[in-house]
């Protein structure tokens, strides 16, 4: 039986086995190419079998070119690891110099064996150095790979933490978005309700002023109607007298002419007071009608005088005991001004009502020798028409005066005011007519509202 030197085989088997195992783990062959890894896993077995077969057959090729064969296998494994460029490059740096040295070694060994034999002192150290280079650089690559894997694991952990944080933030954002959407819907509903309430309050304010206006109109319209009724009755009597006179054979012509003259005068007076009543009714209808926004040339003095009387009689209709003096100081040379009649009438009515309300409240204080008075003054200064509405009522403190034009602010008791009258008046004058409205007041003494309109 042939003697086999196992001490010469086993080192090669061990080197091949550990080298294959190292490359398999380092280049992740197990996960990427499991079939190849199963072959590498038993590298010790097929290495041992190949070398043993060579010894049995006395075939030294496998033994002589063992490192060349291992290098070819390594290069194939490196080819399989193309998905790992960094690890692959490290192994190429380790094994390509060995492959080059082995190629040179075998080249001279096969083609110039004498030259090779005479220079073994040169070729053998180079080959040994290349082998040690592979071993040393492999350990370095393993440490570097381990460090890279740790860094990769750390990055992966950070990525997972970031992903978890991202999902948590997305959940919080979605939750907050849902909450904000719900709040938005609630606010939109509240806004719709607020607009509806605001519309109702504005309509209530208009109806309140219309009610006060109607009460004043009812009183004011009574005078022209009385005149119309009285002159109508007199006219009927005159017609009867004419009829009786004409039935006489010798009627008095001059007497008939005198009766006809009186009858004509009565008709003129009926027409005049009828027009006056129609004017009052027209004003009421304009006030109650929604504003068209169209400006008209208006005699401000006539508008002021009319609304002053209507306001006073409206308050009197609600409180029969109320009495106050009202006066006007109107500039007769005022030009007609372009205003929106319905809107401007509401402004005058609101402010005059407040003036009469102020003197009414002061009357309740039973101040001796107090004479409640409301005065309206119109004048033209430079290119402005000025309307002043003065009262000697209860006045207002400074903190009230600062809020007087704010929406829903009122000094009246609950149920007697919406707090929109002066706010609407301010918007009508400033936004609708390009003017200004100011208030001056001395608490307990007087209040003056000043309206200024630009004249073209």
pLDDT value of residue 349: 87
Q: In this structure, are 404 and 330 located in the same domain? A: yes
Q: In this structure, are 29 and 120 located in the same domain? A: yes
349 assigned to some structural domain? yes
pLDDT value of residue 373: 94
Q: In this structure, are 36 and 131 located in the same domain? A: yes
Q: What is the rounded distance in angstroms from the CA atom of residue 301 to the CA atom of residue 377?
A: 9
30 assigned to some structural domain? yes
Q: In this structure, are 16 and 119 located in the same domain? A: yes
Cβ burial, residue 276 (10 Å; 0-12/13-18/19+) = middle
Q: In this structure, are 16 and 160 located in the same domain? A: yes
Averaged over 355-359, what is the pLDDT? Answer: 91
Averaged over 283-289, what is the pLDDT? Answer: 53
What's the total number of domains in the chain?
A: 3
pLDDT tops 60 at residue 285: no
pLDDT category at 282 given cuts 50, 70, 90 is low
pLDDT tops 60 at residue 360: yes
The angle formed by the CA atoms of residues 200, 204 and 205, to the nearest 5 degrees, is 120
Q: What is the rounded distance in angstroms from the CA atom of residue 161 to the CA atom of residue 150?
A: 16
**Could you tell me the residue range of the domain that residue 21 belongs to?**
6-166
Pick the closest to residue 17 from 25, 285, 339 (CA basis).
25
Averaged over 398-407, what is the pLDDT? Answer: 84
pLDDT category at 268 given cuts 50, 70, 90 is confident
What CATH number has the domain bearing residue 382?
A: 3.30.565.10
197 assigned to some structural domain? no
CB distance 375 to 328 below 8 Å: yes
CB distance 374 to 427 below 8 Å: no
pLDDT tens digits for 67-108?
Answer: 666 777 776 666 666 666 556 666 666 677 777 776 777 677
């Amino acid at each position: 039986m042939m003697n086999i030197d196992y001490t010469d085989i086993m080192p090669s088997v061990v080197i091949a086995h550990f080298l294959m195992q190292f490359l398999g783990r380092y280049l992740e062959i197990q996960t990427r190419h499991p079939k190849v890894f199963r072959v590498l896993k038993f590298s010790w077995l097929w290495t041992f079998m190949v070398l043993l077969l060579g010894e049995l057959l006395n075939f030294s090729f496998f033994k002589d070119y063992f490192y060349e064969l291992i290098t070819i296998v390594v290069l194939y494994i490196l080819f399989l690891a193309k998905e790992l460029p960094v690890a692959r490059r490290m192994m190429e740096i380790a094994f390509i110099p060995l492959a080059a040295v082995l190629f040179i070694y075998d080249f001279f060994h096969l083609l110039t064996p004498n030259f090779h034999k005479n220079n073994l002192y040169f070729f053998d150290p180079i080959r040994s150095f290349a082998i040690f280079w592979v071993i040393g650089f492999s350990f370095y690559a393993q440490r570097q790979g381990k460090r890279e894997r740790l860094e990769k694991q750390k990055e992966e952990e950070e990525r997972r933490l970031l992903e978890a944080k991202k999902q948590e933030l997305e959940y919080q954002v979605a939750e907050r978005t849902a909450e904000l959407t719900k709040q938005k819907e609630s606010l939109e509903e509240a806004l719709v309700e607020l607009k509806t309430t605001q519309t109702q309050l504005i309509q209530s304010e208009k109806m309140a002023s219309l009610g006060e206006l109607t009460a004043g109109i009812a009183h004011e319209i009574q005078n022209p109607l009385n005149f119309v009724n009285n002159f109508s009755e007199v006219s009927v009597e005159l017609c009867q007298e004419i009829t009786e006179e004409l039935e006489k054979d010798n009627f008095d012509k001059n007497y008939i002419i005198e009766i006809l003259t009186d009858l004509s005068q009565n008709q003129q007076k009926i027409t005049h007071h009828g027009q006056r009543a129609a004017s009052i009714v027209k004003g009421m209808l304009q006030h109650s009608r929604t504003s068209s926004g169209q400006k008209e040339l208006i005699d401000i003095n006539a508008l002021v005088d009319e609304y002053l009387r209507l306001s006073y009689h409206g308050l009197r209709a609600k409180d029969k005991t109320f009495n106050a003096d009202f006066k006007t100081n109107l500039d007769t040379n005022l030009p007609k001004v372009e205003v929106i009649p319905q809107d401007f009438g509401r402004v005058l009515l609101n402010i005059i009502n407040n003036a009469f309300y102020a003197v009414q409240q002061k009357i309740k204080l039973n101040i001796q020798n107090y004479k409640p008075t409301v005065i309206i003054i119109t004048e033209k200064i430079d290119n402005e028409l000025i309307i002043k509405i003065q009262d000697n009522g209860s006045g207002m403190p400074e903190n009230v005066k600062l809020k007087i034009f704010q929406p829903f602010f009122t000094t009246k008791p609950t149920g007697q005011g919406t707090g929109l009258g002066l706010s609407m008046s301010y918007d009508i004058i400033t936004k609708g007519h390009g003017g200004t409205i100011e208030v001056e007041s001395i608490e307990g003494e007087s209040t003056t509202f000043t309206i200024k309109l630009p004249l073209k």
